[in-house]
Structure 1
Amino acid sequence: MGLKKGGFIELEVTGMAFGGKGLAKVDGLAVFVEKAVPLDRIKARILKKKKKFAEAVAVELIEPSPYRTNPPCEYSGFCGGCRWQFLEYDRQLQYKRQHVEESLEHIGLIRDVPVHPTIPSEKIFGYRNKMEFSCSDRKWLIPSDFTSGETSSGFALGLHVPGTFDKVLDIRACLLQPEEGNMIFEDAKAFMKKSGIPPYGIKSHEGFWRFLMLRNSAAYGHWMVNIITSTENRKTLEPLAALLSEKYPDVVSVINNITSSKAAVATGEYETVLSGSPFIKDKIGNFEFEISANSFFQTNTISAEILYKKVKEFSGLSGSETVLDLYSGTGTIPVFLSADAGQITGIEIVESAVLDAEKNCRSNGVSNCTFILGDIRESLSEISKKPEVIIIDPPRVGMHKDVVKLVMDMAPERIVYVSCNPATLARDLFLMKESYKVEEVQPVDMFPHTWHIESVARLQKKRQL
């Protein structure tokens, strides 16, 4: 059966591919289908045709899969935030585990390794402690806009539609954040719109309102409202800060980040405090962390604690070990492990993260963690004492091959690899498997309704024969 770009075809979806797309086969050719679930029978439009695969999007549901569920969000199918809302949560967990298993087998050539069932998120809605909403002078219209007559496109505050960079889906609420966040969002949006001051245009690079970021403390229920604008204008923003602080006692911090950069990044060149504190506090386990407007903190606090407990378990610490933490960020893992190790050294290339890590140690009374600012490839030479355990928590791109070699040269007894990308996890474990045995892998779901998955792998040094 010939497939042509723009053509239509009826498909039986048989699997789920990494990246969250349904998988169908046509005469042996893999077809990756957006908005499809295994066991769906659909009509699809071909978006791309290559020699070895095709890409398509479901346009008609002929017979729904028993794994489908009705998404509670009115923007499901349009928003790029959580594309798996229509898939039963138990199935989401199964496919995430499957993606880890397949990556290890096909990319890492690692077989017969126990990949445990995915640990679920305690909450599947309202779990995010940070949401970033974009402002735009171009609104992405959906069918309900035409029904309600809300077709003006001059102001939008919400989330991006996949494949677009300049238009924003104008939303009323997001179910991934706690409900109070939606109330704060609604009032902030109404103020912005009523101000008459235009939102920033990605194409024109003109306008004032750029982003609205909401951060929440799971431990204390406090909120930070971070308003990102193109210029500083306290006369406009102070009434908004006063409105939110007075109406919501849990709003303890209102910040203004100011950026003239054309890049669509919600980080200011500088910031001012409009109301309250410059930070909020949250807890992972018994440890408290200060979170500023631009500091990194795991976005699912409850699942982060589950993840860190698994890191602690896999580290096999007895209280005296020397531990090295690569890509240590703001020091949350070293602080979390501090009571169970002798000495922990973190290496991190971002200066602000190292400063936050040192501050987190001081505020928690932790004295056995130190941090080195620099590139890992250059900084490992500063490590004088060989670690028994190395913890690796790299970005999505994984480890540089030079770092892998340096880790192998250090030859710790145990390695704990924390990964947010099964493909690069498998690639890096392949490079280590001559010297280390992968004992087990534990997936942890930190992002329900998305295909993203965190994993923790436990590696043990092989004995020389």
Structure 2
Amino acid sequence: MRRKIHKTPERLARVRVDAVAAEGKCIVRTEEGVIFVENPTGGPGVAPGDVVDLRITNTKKQYREAVAERIHEWSTVRTEPFCEHFGTCGGCKWQHIQYSEQLGFKHQQVIDHLTRIGKVELPTFRPIMPAHPTQYYRNKLEFTCAEGRWLTTKEVGTNQPMDQRAVGFHVPGRFDKVLPIRHCYLQPDPSNAIREAIDAYVLQHDMTLYNLKMHTGYLRTLIIRTADTTQQVMVTLQVAQDNPELLNGLMAYLQTLFPQITSLNYILNTKKNDSYQDQEVINWAGKAFIEEQMEELTFRIGPKSFYQTNAQQAYNLYKVAREFAGLTGQEHVYDLYTGTGTIALFVARLAKHVVGVEYVEASVADARVNAEVNGITNTTFVAGDMKAILTDEFFAEHGRPDVVITDPPRAGMDEAVTRQLLKAAPERIVYVSCNTATQARDLAILDEGYTVTGVQPVDMFPHTHHVENVVVLTKR
């Protein structure tokens, strides 16, 4: 039997990092081609301008991948990370880069995608809209409660038995390992206090947490939602076993310790995965929803509802979409991928009628409730597969659109949907995107009948590589 030959990994010494790329990676350009540099778990992170030693981890036809093993010179765009979990936790990967520089990188990413992938004629881009605040901006966090705690190098070195229970976030690339979080800078109070209280209760009462490999244990996830404008708080626990005694003890503990919790719920999930959209949510105390306000509108948000996780910046995003729509009160508007109807209801008072279309039936039900709560009667919400539902017959029944607002998921619009929009020929299309690469792909198709007349990047998620972008297209 032949021995397997292990090649010595290729290394490059003292190369300068040029820029950032998709998914938060960095780029090094060499004579042999582009190298994408990953930030390994536990490392300090790589920033444009750093001079580093690289170890090549993968060689493809058009590029190579690498990790930085040593940093010789620190970039001038760096700043001190504010979170003790930076480098191990999978979130906030750009903490080590100054926020003004983050904005510049994101703005350039939008330009690059729309010009290189879309290849369409573009107007002057508006400057990217910064987020404020840049910490404690999320209104929803989901923590995993697991028997699979991630141990630091120092803890491993002690060889001391450690409690394996943890309430926190998955370590990148490890479905079975959870990093216990001491303080998270993503969600405002009382999020950290609630998580810490759950952690303490678990230890005091020797409660079992879910083992992601063996599929045993009791407590699975902790989901916290907060409302910025009303200060309402929702807590939803996901458990793996029907044990009323365990559940009631934990729920009563939370209710007593945190009277500001206005919605306390649980989900009994006996599946082998933590997805709960197909599971029943049981309201244990308080209301079954919390409320968020935007201008004169009130939105009810349930445990399964989709609502933009940065509510303050979502308001700015929706104002851009409304401005680009250019409504006068006479327009028939279609809101595609409407979710719980937030954009549809936000523009409804300036439109003649709004038709919201969404695949998820539960979201459409939420949208109808929100319309009723706000006394809005000029909206129609329809559930169905977008590419199947947008037919000539559908337009004949609901009216052809004068303006279309579309806010698809990261995969963008199905080509059949894009083609149908070309057939429907609205005067304007407002395209809200969380993935400018797929947005650019769709713009290339819409270029057959439309001209891009406005572009506004919006930073919704500081300290990450994610960027939202709003484009308005005008019929030629």
What TM-score do the two structures reach when normalised by structure 1? 0.95
1:249 Cα deviation from its structure 2 partner: 2.5
Instruction: Choose the corresponding residue for 2:395, options 365, 371, 383.
Output: 383
SS of the equivalent of 2:167 reads strand
- 1:410: which partner in 2? 424
Q: 2:467 is matched with which residue: 436, 453, 458?
A: 453
How does 1:107-256 map onto structure 2 within 5 Å? 107-143=117-153, 145=155, 152=162, 154-256=164-266
Contact 1:115 1:440 in 2 (8 A): yes
Alpha-carbon displacement from aligned partner over 1:161-180 (angstroms, at most 9, x marks no partner): 21111111111121111132
Q: Deviations over 1:351-391 (max 9, x none)?
A: 10010000000001110011111112232232222211011
Question: Quick one: distance in 1 between partners of 2:72 and 2:465?
Answer: 24
Shift of 1:146: 5.6
- 1:14 corresponds to which residue? 18
CA drift of 1:327 comes to 0.9
Structure 2 residue runs of 5 or longer lacking an equivalent are 1-6, 39-44
Q: What's the CA shift for 1:55?
A: 1.5
Any residues of structure 2 matched to 1:361-376 within 5 Å, and which?
361-376=371-386
The residue type equivalent to 1:294 in the other structure is K
Amino acid at match of 1:348: E
Name which of structure 1's ranges 266-275 and 442-451 shifts more when overlaid on structure 2.
266-275
C-alpha displacement of 1:26: 2.8
Partner Cα separation in structure 2 for residue 324 and residue 209 of structure 1? 42
Written as runs of structure 1 = structure 2, the 5 A alignment for 1:27-426 is 27-34=31-38, 35-143=45-153, 145=155, 152=162, 154-267=164-277, 269-380=279-390, 381-384=393-396, 385-426=399-440
Name the aligned partner's letter for residue 377 of structure 1.
K
Deviations 1:417-441 (A, max 9, x none): 0100011000000001020001121
Q: What are the ranges of 5 or more consecutive residues in structure 1 without an aligned counterpart?
A: none
SS at 2:108 equivalent:
helix
Write out per-residue CA displacement over residues 192-247 of structure 1, whole angstroms, 9 at most, x where no aligned residue: 23332321122111111111110001011121111111123231122222222222
Query: Any conservation in 2 of the 1:252–1:276 contact (CA below 8 Å)?
Result: yes
**8 A Cα contact 1:308 1:336, kept in partner:** yes
Tell me how far 1:5 sits from its aligned partner. 3.9
Q: CA deviation at 1:150?
A: 8.1
Q: Report the count of equivalent residues.
A: 460
Greater CA deviation, 268-277 or 249-258? Answer: 268-277
- Bigger Cα displacement from structure 2, 117-126 vs 410-419: 117-126
Residue 451 of structure 2, aligned match among 411, 432, 437: 437
| Amino acid paired to 1:269 | Q
Question: Is 1:207–1:230's contact at 8 Å kept on the other side of the alignment?
Answer: yes
The answer to whether the Cα contact below 8 Å between 1:323 and 1:390 also exists between their aligned partners in 2 is yes
Task: Report the Cα offset of residue 144 of structure 1.
Answer: 5.9
Instruction: Output the aligned Cα RMSD.
Output: 1.8
Instruction: Tell me how far 1:191 sits from its aligned partner.
Output: 1.1
Distance 1:450-1:150 versus aligned 2 partners, 3 A rule:
farther
2:294 partner letter: I
Offset of residue 153 of structure 1: 5.1
- CA apart distance, 1:147: 8.6
* 2:122 and 2:452 in contact (8 A); partners too: no
Contact 2:121-2:452 within 8 A present in 1 as well: no
Q: Tell me the percent identity.
A: 39
User: Structure 1 residues 149 and 217 mapped into 2: Cα distance closer, same or farther (>3 Å)?
Assistant: farther
